[in-house]
Amino acid sequence: DVVLTQTPPTLSATIGQSVSISCRSSQSLLHSNGNTYLHWLLQRPGQSPQLLIYSVSRLESGVPNRFSGSGSGTDFTLKISGVEAEDLGVYYCVQGTHAPWTFGGGTKLELK
Amino acid sequence: QVQLQQSGAELVKPGSSVKISCKASGYTFTSYDMHWIKQQPGNGLEWIGWIYPGNGNTKYNQKFNGKATLTADKSSSTAYMQLSSLTSEDSAVYFCARSGYFDFWGPGTMVTVSS
């Protein structure tokens, strides 16, 4: 199974600060069809996860554009340009290139 | 608007089975995979499998072979997951989510296995 390693496990930020989360894969996530199925989710406390970014860098409808995704192959990054209070929670990367789908261990974003 | 409504919390005995549901609305149920995901208390997310309601095709995480069975009822736009031979390790919140992009999620169903 593909292992996704997220760093850091915990991130402390002030409102307005820009932060980045890394997701490294144990193998390339480039599918034979040319797509890369690496997505980012946010799970706020007590809620279901929600999709933020799909296919590395595509912003899901309704998600603020302070969120952005980048990367290729095995290294991916989620950036939040100006953290807001509603961004607090646990961020997960997830891959669907190789079955079974696998999730990263999560990065908890807290207020400093 | 797309909604996924899940059945309520379950308290079940070890060794028994439980069947939880996920009723979809706001889109064509037969056109999207439905995925199931497990989250144990304080832990991350684990993919169980998916079902394509259009033709009933399923794919499972090998870890859940024999544990989870996915079905779908096109007439009611409802996906189901049955978990069998339950142990304390199966105590978790179970989510349904639409498509391999996980673009919409249900609220989760908590299953507690206890005698």
**Among B45, B59, B97, whose Cβ lies nearest the Cβ of A99?**
B59
B106–A contact, CB cutoff 8 A: yes
- Matching residue, tokens 């499972």: B60
Structure tokens at B3: 């909604």
How far B51 CA sits from the closest chain A CA (Å)? 13
User: In chain A, at which residue ranges do the beta strands (DSSP E only) sit?
Assistant: 4-7, 10-13, 18-25, 38-43, 49-54, 58-59, 67-72, 75-81, 89-95, 102-103, 107-111
In angstroms, the CA A29 to CA A4 distance is 10
Pairwise CB contact (< 8 Å): B103 & A49: no
How far A53 CA sits from the closest chain B CA (Å)? 9
- Matching residue, tokens 């079902």: B51
Tell me the pLDDT band of B48, cut-offs 50, 70 and 90: very high
Pairwise CB contact (< 8 Å): B45 & A39: no
pLDDT score of A61 = 96
Q: Which of B36, B63, B99, B102 to mutate to test the interface with A (most CBs of A within 10 A)?
A: B102
Report, as ranges of residue numbers, the positions in chain A whose pLDDT lies below 50: none
Other beta carbons within 10 Å of A46: 7
CB B17 within 8 A of CB B85: yes
| Closest C-alpha to A42, from A92, A1, A4 | A92
Average pLDDT, chain B: 97
pLDDT score of B42 = 79
3-state helix, strand, coil in chain B (%, to 5): 10, 50, 40
How far A92 CA sits from the closest chain B CA (Å)? 8
